[in-house]
A and B are shown apart, each in its own frame.
Chain A
Amino acid sequence: MTIKLLIAHIIFSEEKNLWEIFLNCLWVQSKMEGENLLVEKEKKKQVKIHINPKWCKGCYICVEICPQKVLGKAGEISEKGFQQVVVVYPEKCTGCLQCEMLCPDLAINVEIKK
């Protein structure tokens, strides 16, 4: 456990009992390590996003719903009369699959390589 964490807790925590503060820090530490591991795992996921331009209708649910803002609009109107959806920041994708699951047209396929 880091000294920084312990000092921060002593200064800012409402808890005055040192033993409780120590236990809290232990708990926080394990949580952070757990999340770090998770982030490590997610970083190891390789994802490739395929968008089928023939089936996409430009409803932009995927663009708005993505927590990482990976998808965006093409910038110009296509011959179908709307801006196609394109992958703007593929490296930010965590493979949450919200875009794929919420696409009404089965136009997104998020390929996750382990």
Chain B
Amino acid sequence: MPWKKTKSLLEPGWYFMQGDEACAEGALAAGCRFYAGYPITPASEIMIRMVHRLPEVNGVFIQMEDEIGSISSVIGASWAGAKAMTATSGPGISLMTESIGYAGITETPCVIVDVQRAGPSTGQATRPAQGDIMQVKWGCHGDVEIIAFAPWSVQEMYDLTIKAFNCAERFRVPTFILADEAVGHLRETLLIKEEVEIFDRYKAPGLPPFGTDEPNGVPPMPAFGEGANLLVTGSTHDPWGFRKTADPQIQARLTERLVRKVKDFRAEILLTEGHFLTDAEIGVIAYGFTARAALAAIKKLRQQGIKVGLLRLISIWPFAEEAVAGLGQNCRVIFVPEMNRGQIAGEAKKFTSTPIIPLPKTNGEVFEPAEIVEAIRRNLT
């Protein structure tokens, strides 16, 4: 069975840690033994933690010449058998985008942490934002069904990074942690449990590594040096990896399986949290650091007698369509506060006909609960 329980790397107990540091610890706990990175605010702390910790666990660290080099060596190491990770911010994701597509079509498990900052472009390097939601999903050309999680606390920076590695290995797909500068640089308490549950990639020598009989299957993944004569390529390929750049059937089969292998099994990935939803007439969808302010705002509004509830998205991609549709059925209006110009608000509109009111904030600062309370109250009159 590819699921197994192992002892946590750190002694179980309470810690006081920075979000970025907790993310690095989560990766190590999940079995990450290769890190390649390039300095970028506000993600450099993850790299610094890794350079000290990886040698302690016989892992490999390298600072590459740029972000493209980072993601490239992560993919190379993944095919050499490693659970591999890199961390960056918006500008780095822009550079890595081509390789993310490559990881998609070659079905390479890897984890990419995006500690989002105010953009676009260089923007405000030390200020939080949530502007990369669509980019990680649609940045690379073509259809790649990436997986992404948005942590709202230091605890989640640890736990969701572990989940990200497990998803990457289970679905053989690049997986993202959509953090932001606020949660990345936040210091909070973190509870490390005795054990960690981790998933290792499926192995089956002799079976094709790039195709399955099922239209939505995940093939086994050999590593270099195991005698599999791997034919890894970014061109469209048959189940054994031979390039088939003119065959319509193979292109159709491959592109459909790459999407279905994640979408058909999204029940294993989707993670949402509901607060005060049972009798809510007004809905709020929030994620990441913003959800903290949203929850405080909900509580305040409830005290004022307004029947409002919060749907917190923990997994961002695949999108929690059913949860949003369900929220829409019960509520007469849905507010979406986010630190961008309405990226999740736009996505939510696809799945419910309930009016969606985006509450965008892009001044490089996080939401305060009072702002959300004020915005909701203003819109209700």
Q: Do chains A and B touch in the complex (CB under 8 A)?
A: no
